[in-house]
Chains A and B, each alone.
Chain A
Amino acid sequence: MKNQTKEQLFRIITESSFALDEAIQFLDTHPGNQEALDYYHHYQDIYKKALKEYQECYGPINQKDVAQEDYWTWVTTPWPWEGEC
């Protein structure tokens, strides 16, 4: 996870979060499925690591994970609907 750019980390967060969404819904209807559980834990690990590094370096994704202690960056970083354009 080291030496990833902001965009690369954000992409990893978006992708692994989606994989988790899918695994979660499959597990809701197949709670005992071991392969699904393994997939979930695999991406949970990636997601948590990417999230930790992104939030420490670039700004918060979760309101309860704001890492910056000198300013409330929750309201200074862009909102998702602003887009890149």
Chain B
Amino acid sequence: MDNRQQMYGRYNRGYRQQRSRYPSQPSSVSPTRDYNKCDDYDMAVDKAIDKCVNNLPLAMAYVPMQKWENVCDAPSGLAMGSIFKDLVKPYYPVLQKRGDR
């Protein structure tokens, strides 16, 4: 009897953090940059990002999950190449602008 359907059902319904079998690793203590050298705004932003990203498990890459927001209609989306305005990131072709030819 193939019990893969049962397994897929469990793993496809939602995203559950499995209970850990391993003892927690001690978190690393050394700072990554000298905050005395940053201006106030940079420090505030850096610390906010640090709070989130530096608490994630090590040795893995993390891309934020996009929310369904700033979505445009089909004609605008096709013209931009994306219905998601937050993902539209145009390129500035330096060689073209400089007139390199």
Contact = CB atoms under 8 A, between A and B. Distances in A.
Direct A–B contact in the complex, CB atoms closer than 8 angstroms: yes
A33 B67 CA distance: 9
A84 B24 CA distance: 64
Interface residues of B, number: 12
A37 B30 CA distance: 45
Interface stretch (B37-45, B47-55, B71-79, B92-100): B71-79
Interface residues of A, number: 16
B74 A19 contact: yes
A36 interface: yes
B68 A33 contact: yes
Interface of A: 14-16, 18-19, 22-23, 26, 29-30, 33, 35-36, 39, 43, 46
Interface of B: 65-66, 68, 71, 73-75, 77-78, 82-84
